[in-house]
A = this chain, B = another copy of it.
Amino acid sequence: MATAGSNLKLIHVKSACEACRVRELCLPTSLNDQDVSLIDDLVIRRAPLNKGDFLYRTGDKFRGIYALQYGAIKTYGVTRQGREQVTGFHLAGEVLGLDAIDEEIHPCNAVALEKTEVCQIPFHKLEQLSTTIPGLLHNLSKVMSREIKHEEHVLMMLGGTTAEQRIVRFILNLKQRMSKSEVMGYSFKLCMSRQDISNYLGLALETVSRQLTNLQDRDVLEIHNRYITILNPEELQKLAD
């Protein structure tokens, strides 16, 4: 039974790890199939979330980090004045929940923006495993480091720029991240509302709307509802700088 089980796992594993995009955690380095199998055993596949479902809420007990299989999630905090501040959008292949490790409590809300499936990775088990698989520890550090770097990048994007620059950089960033998980041309769907974008970029939602129509009028973008096409990538890149 045990032997059969682990054989089965070796097959099952690859697909699960691949599918759940735990890739970020296991693929980069030289983890062998056996190690990957061990990691795969940890992963808990959760029932799909529908649009508006919460993955977790502020104050929830931390049970593990999450890897997005498909879909999109926004994380946000609520200020004392009741303002919703979006701290990030998370797309397929990305990891979230790392900010909860420290106090074992989620410091923000995570809600699905569309139909979404995630894998839960119990963190303490991952830590345990890290002591036996050295490469895993390093990957874990890298994932967290990347997250820190990304947040700094966001800070740079937000500081001292015009509304137009923010929007443009936001779109370029989204485009780039979506390209990672799917073959894509210059058209894609915005998975979030204008409101969400405004709360992320620190702008009024009207400003977001105006900037988008403005870019459309100048034939840089084409927008139909939430579907967006980049008509002039060079110009868009130029506007970002």
Contact = CB atoms under 8 A, between A and B. Distances in A.
B99 A199 contact: no
A54 B97 CA distance: 33
Contacts of A88: 152
A241 interface: yes
Contacts of A200: 159
Shortest beta-carbon contacts, A-B, top 9 = A101-B145, A151-B151, A102-B145, A159-B202, A144-B144, A99-B149, A80-B241, A102-B146, A87-B152
Interface stretch (A114-122, A133-141, A216-224): A133-141
Interface string A64-83: 00000000000001011101
Interface of A: 77, 79-81, 83, 85, 87-88, 98-102, 107-108, 123, 127-128, 130-132, 134, 137-138, 140-149, 151-152, 154-156, 158-160, 199-200, 202, 241
Contact of A148 (B123, B127, B151, B202): B151
A148 B141 CA distance: 12
A156 B87 contact: yes
Contact of A144 (B138, B145, B159): B145
Nearest to A146: B102
Most buried by B among A107, A123, A141: A141
A18 to B, nearest CB: 22
Contacts of A99: 145, 148-149, 152
A158 B156 contact: no
B155 A144 contact: no
A77 B154 CA distance: 12
Given A87-B152, A158-B158, A160-B202, 16 more contacts: A77-B152, A87-B156, A99-B145, A99-B148, A101-B145, A123-B141, A127-B134, A128-B134, A130-B137, A131-B131, A131-B132, A144-B148, A148-B148, A154-B155, A158-B202, A159-B202
Given A99-B152, A142-B102, A134 B134 contact: no
Given A102-B142, A131-B137, A155 B155 contact: yes
